[in-house]
Amino acid sequence: MAIPLHALAHRPLTAEDVAEFVALPFVPHVPDDVEAVDEEIRRRGWHWEQELVNDSFRTAGEHVLCCDGISPFGSPDARYFLVFGEMYPVDPDDESRSNDAWLSGYMDGWRQLPGWSTRERCTDQDCESVLTQAAQAVTECLCAAARRTIVSCATVVTGPALTHRIWRTPTHALVLGPSADNGPYGYLTHLQLSCTPLACGPDLPPAGDEDGLAGWITAHVDW
């Protein structure tokens, strides 16, 4: 049964977007200095982004990138995520389903990003289509299919369970799926690709261990 959403905004990922993202921990180091970072983001055609996610960037591909330090360049121990979609789920406890008005303004910033498209009154299956397309871009970039796939709501505050896909490089975990955006009440939800050092949890649980996989995903995504 399809689960309703108020809105979904997204911009497709390409293999080139993914390649730039997963290379960030290994590019020449740029120190945590605003002027130095500003010079590098101008060189890449990026922009600062302070409205949609605090202390983040908009890449040349118009996705929103966040890092747990000031500089996202050449920090192999840092955590990163790249947002390519934003969904506004319907609150199942709101019988009138009229709760969309109070958060629509927060969605406007995502709707208005260059190259992003919006679907109104859609369902979780629209999100799954966006995630499937993004997974194809990651697979093309890494020349490998996801190591694990699980449907879970472990990383969201509210909203439907959606598919998470996990890849691993020799040093990092890549997790593609939904995650709470930590805005008002954590209600809106990112569709994102995370890149996190494997030191957070090097051993990947077996495919049938849903609880273990949900915990592994949370350890790498929730920061």
Q: What is the DSSP track for 90-136?
A: --TT-TT--TTGGGHHHHHHHHTSTT-EEEEEEEHHHHHHHHHHHHH
Please answer whether residues 82 and 17 qualify as being in contact, where contact means their C-beta atoms are separated by less than 8 angstroms.
yes
Q: What is the pLDDT of residue 202?
A: 65
Retrieve residue 87's tokens: 């969904």
Exposure class string for 68-92: b at 16+ Cβ within 10 A, else e: eeebbbbbeebbbbbbbbbbbbbbe
> Would you say 77 and 71 are in contact if contact means Cβ atoms under 8 Å apart?
no
Please state the separation of Cα 52 from the chain's center in Å: 13
Any idea which residue has 């389903």 for tokens? 97
Separation between Cα atoms, residue 58 and residue 100, nearest integer Å:
26
pLDDT at 99: 58
Please identify which residue in the block is written with the tokens 């995520």: 81
- Measured CA to CA, the distance from residue 96 to residue 88 in angstroms comes to 16
Q: What is the dihedral of CA 140, 197, 55, 134, to 10 degrees?
A: 20
Encoded amino acid at 70, one letter: I
> What is the rounded distance in angstroms from the CA atom of residue 32 to the CA atom of residue 34?
7
Query: What pLDDT is attached to residue 100?
Result: 58
For β-strands 64-67 and 56-58, DSSP reports them as antiparallel
Taking alpha carbons only, the member of 112, 71, 84, 94 closest to residue 159 is: 94
Q: What does the pLDDT read at residue 160?
A: 87
User: Shortest CA distance to 84 belongs to which of 37, 133, 124, 125?
Assistant: 133
Beta bridge partners of 83: 64, 192
pLDDT of residue 135: 98
Gap between the Cα atoms of 91 and 97, Å rounded: 7
pLDDT of res. 145? 96
Which residues does the chain have with pLDDT short of 70? 94-101, 184-186, 200-202, 223
Per-residue model confidence as pLDDT tens digits over 166-194: 999 889 999 999 998 877 666 899 999 99
